[in-house]
Amino acid sequence: MTGVISFPLSDAAVSDAAIASRPEVGCGVSEQGKLLQGEILLETRSHTSWGGAVTAQMYIPLRRSEVWQQLTDYPRWVQFFPDLVQSEVIDRIEGREGRKRLYQVARKAFFLLTAQVEIYLKVLETVQATWQQIQFQMERGNFHDFAANLHLQDFGSGTLLTYTVQATPTLPIPSQLIQQAMRLDLPANMQKMRQVLCGR
């Protein structure tokens, strides 16, 4: 999806406190204005020596229930993220409402090389009165570690989407290069997601 190769966020039992905790909107007046004008706010940070982490926020001019319905249609994620070539629900965990398992495949071109990444994700969907959240946790795949969190809350007349992902690829790529790739790729991916969500 983003970053190196972005995938949805994962699972109920995300150990990292930054991923597992519910994102709070710390928007000042100027940040709110930027979001409402369509800007995507981005913050990258290091995560292990060979990994990166990023949090992105964007405003979507749709009701939260409409956004949620589309985002939980996981096969449709290939429309949101150009690098994602396959996304399918492979299992619904019995007796655990809101828990699923996903399989995703992404391809990313680096200069003359094209890398393909496969990942199996555990997914936890949480619905509260004022917010909704999808957590993604890697079960296995082409990462040392991967976790993501997608959080929705009411914002103005629409929805604020906060997407946080942290990942360490198996290839030894310095953390600063991972963060740079995230800064370059994620805004375009988020804009594409908003276009698809809004039917543009």
Would you state the structure tokens that stand for residue 31, as one six-digit string?
A: 């940040």
Q: Is 2 within a domain?
A: no
pLDDT per position as a tens digit, 48-78 = 666 778 899 999 999 999 999 999 999 999 9
Q: Is 1 within a domain?
A: no
Q: Is 178 within a domain?
A: yes
Q: Among all chains, which residue has been given the structure tokens 């094209």?
A: 114
Q: Which of 43-47, 50-54, 99-103 has the highest mean pLDDT?
A: 99-103
* pLDDT at residue 131 tops 90: yes
Q: Is 4 within a domain?
A: no
Identify the pLDDT of residue 110. Answer: 61
* pLDDT at residue 44 tops 70: yes
Report the percentage of the chain scoring pLDDT > 70.
72
Q: How confident is the model at residue 130 (pLDDT cuts 50, 70, 90)?
A: very high
Domain count, the chain: 1
Domain extent for 175: 17-197
Q: Is 6 within a domain?
A: no
**pTM to 2 decimals?**
0.79
Q: How confident is the model at residue 161 (pLDDT cuts 50, 70, 90)?
A: very high
Q: Is 11 within a domain?
A: no
Give Cβ neighbours of residue 41 (< 8 Å, ≥ 6 apart). 31, 34, 35, 56, 57, 58
In one-letter notation, the amino acid at residue 107 is R
Higher pLDDT, 191 or 49: 191
Question: Residue 130 and residue 153: Cα distance in Å, rounded?
Answer: 6
Would you state the structure tokens that stand for residue 184, as one six-digit string?
A: 């370059």
CATH number assigned to the domain comprising residue 135: 3.30.530.20
CB 57 within 8 A of CB 35: yes
CB 42 within 8 A of CB 165: no
Q: Pick the closest to residue 177 from 25, 50, 5, 54 (CA basis).
A: 50
Q: Is 3 within a domain?
A: no
Question: Residue 54 and residue 42: Cα distance in Å, rounded?
Answer: 7
Would you state the structure tokens that stand for residue 199, as one six-digit string?
A: 């039917």
Q: Is 7 within a domain?
A: no
Question: Residue 110 and residue 92: Cα distance in Å, rounded?
Answer: 35
Question: Residue 140 and residue 121: Cα distance in Å, rounded?
Answer: 7
